[in-house]
Structure 1
Amino acid sequence: MTNNKIADLRKQRGWTQEHLAEVSQVNPRTIQRLEAGEDASLETLRMVANALGVQIGDLFESISDSNKGKEIEGFDKQKADQTHQWLVLHKFYRLCLIVGFVILMLILISLVSLTDNDRILDIAGIAWLILWPIGLGVIKVFQTVWIEPRLSRKYPLAESLNPAYNNDLKGTTKKHSGLWIAGIIILVILMIAVIWAGLNFYLFKLFGI
């Protein structure tokens, strides 16, 4: 392969060869050989491309070996397809979990509303509000611990090491970061409210105050 752009891509980011080797999890000597124009396996090129946030084909201006070029082009397409499928299914499963949780919460509040006891309604209402941030937290954990590993096994080329892939997920995380902070604050406030309501209830029962 000729007209290697790895050194230029690395320098654009202000990285040394050692840093690129560390980020891509390859030997520094491998980076030196690649930048010198030596051939490498697709796996090595994949790891370097992931670290630089580009497709494998973008590492080279031209590829002298036509068979190698076709192999790289096919690999890049397969990787892009798997990353797209990963993201689509990830969003779909998350939406299903949230919709299911909302339906469950609506069923719970409907059942509680059947009682005529005001004290039970007050406590159940507070507990119902507390369940929202807790439920969203459980969904987040389930998504991270169960769904994402299985999607990654199904689509092994859709790697989280890909900066472009990470940026997509980071964008989603940033959009919801304010909601997570608000949820935690609400949870703390509601826990204090429950404790305060419980103390008042027992004080009233014991001392009539």
Structure 2
Amino acid sequence: MNEPRIRDLRTARGWSQERLAEASGVAVRTIQRLEAGNDASLETLSLVATALEVPVRDLFVSVDDDRLGIAVDGLDARIADERIARAGAERAHRGWRYLYVALGLAVTAAAIIAVGSPSSSGEAILVVPAYWVGGLFVLRFLERSVLGPRLDARFPLTARDASTRARS
């Protein structure tokens, strides 16, 4: 492997090896090996680069091996393409949020009309907070347990779990 800059990038953020390992989803021993200049898979390098928010090429002082340079450039290009495709998929899935809001407005309007009727005792208004709170919990659950994992499986180079942990 070429001379790594991972230690410099990590310390510039004020991170320990443990923090980088957690943020990137790899073992601490893997971070230690990378910083020592040992070889790693392109996928591992991608996870570390994503956690550090840099292109894979920036993990090295220079990339001397032509084959490695081509592979690193190719990986950076794949990550960029995958980010664009993932953003498009996330926009398409935002339709569920719009449906939730539109249905919520309809439920709220129906409850207000029902409460305004002379034969109503007013209990219909309880449906409004139940819908908004319950629906929000269901929506968040589905986004985190169904949509997120599906997008991560479809776009593994831009999986959200590593980058989300890096910011928390």
Q: TM-score interval w.r.t. the shorter chain? A: 0.7 to 0.9
Judging changes above 3 Å, is the alpha-carbon distance between structure 1 residues 138 and 23 closer, same or farther for their aligned structure 2 residues?
closer
| SS of residue matched to 2:122 | helix
| SS of residue matched to 1:127 | helix
Determine the structure 1 residue equivalent to 2:27.
26
Kindly report which structure 2 residues correspond to 1:47-126, keeping only aligned pairs within 5 A, or say none.
47-94=47-94, 96-108=95-107, 109-110=109-110, 113=113, 117-120=117-120, 122-126=122-126
Range with greater deviation from structure 2 (57-66 or 130-139): 130-139
Q: How many residues align?
A: 166
Determine the structure 1 residue equivalent to 2:158.
158
CA distance, structure 2, for counterparts of residue 142 and residue 83 of structure 1: 22
CA distance, structure 1, for counterparts of residue 121 and residue 145 of structure 2: 35
CA distance, structure 1, for counterparts of residue 23 and residue 100 of structure 2: 39
Code of the residue aligned with 2:92 in structure 1: it is F
Judging changes above 3 Å, is the alpha-carbon distance between structure 1 residues 53 and 100 closer, same or farther for their aligned structure 2 residues?
same
Code of the residue aligned with 2:149 in structure 1: it is P
**8 Å contact 1:5–1:60 — kept in the other structure?**
yes
CA distance, structure 2, for counterparts of residue 77 and residue 121 of structure 1: 62
CA distance, structure 2, for counterparts of residue 156 and residue 72 of structure 1: 16
Code of the residue aligned with 1:34 in structure 2: it is L
Which consecutive residues of structure 2, in runs of 5 or more, have no partner in the other structure? none
| SS of residue matched to 1:139 | helix
**8 Å contact 1:83–1:159 — kept in the other structure?**
no
Which consecutive residues of structure 1, in runs of 5 or more, have no partner in the other structure? 171-209
CA distance, structure 1, for counterparts of residue 103 and residue 164 of structure 2: 36
Judging changes above 3 Å, is the alpha-carbon distance between structure 1 residues 161 and 107 closer, same or farther for their aligned structure 2 residues?
closer
2:2 pairs with 1:9 = no
Judging changes above 3 Å, is the alpha-carbon distance between structure 1 residues 138 and 27 closer, same or farther for their aligned structure 2 residues?
closer
Q: Larger RCO: Structure 1 or Structure 2 (Cα < 8 Å, ≥ 6 residues apart)? A: 2
**8 Å contact 2:2–2:63 — kept in the other structure?**
yes
Judging changes above 3 Å, is the alpha-carbon distance between structure 1 residues 77 and 161 closer, same or farther for their aligned structure 2 residues?
farther
Deviations along 1:34-92, whole A, 9 cap, x unmatched? 33434332133223323433221110121111121111111122123223332332243
1:23 shift after superposition? 4.9
**8 Å contact 1:82–1:155 — kept in the other structure?**
yes
Report the structure number with the largest CA radius of gyration: 1
| SS of residue matched to 2:61 | strand
Code of the residue aligned with 1:41 in structure 2: it is S
Deviations along 1:138-160, whole A, 9 cap, x unmatched? 21112112211111121121122
* Same amino acid, percent of matched pairs: 35
CA distance, structure 2, for counterparts of residue 111 and residue 23 of structure 1: 46
**8 Å contact 1:6–1:35 — kept in the other structure?**
yes
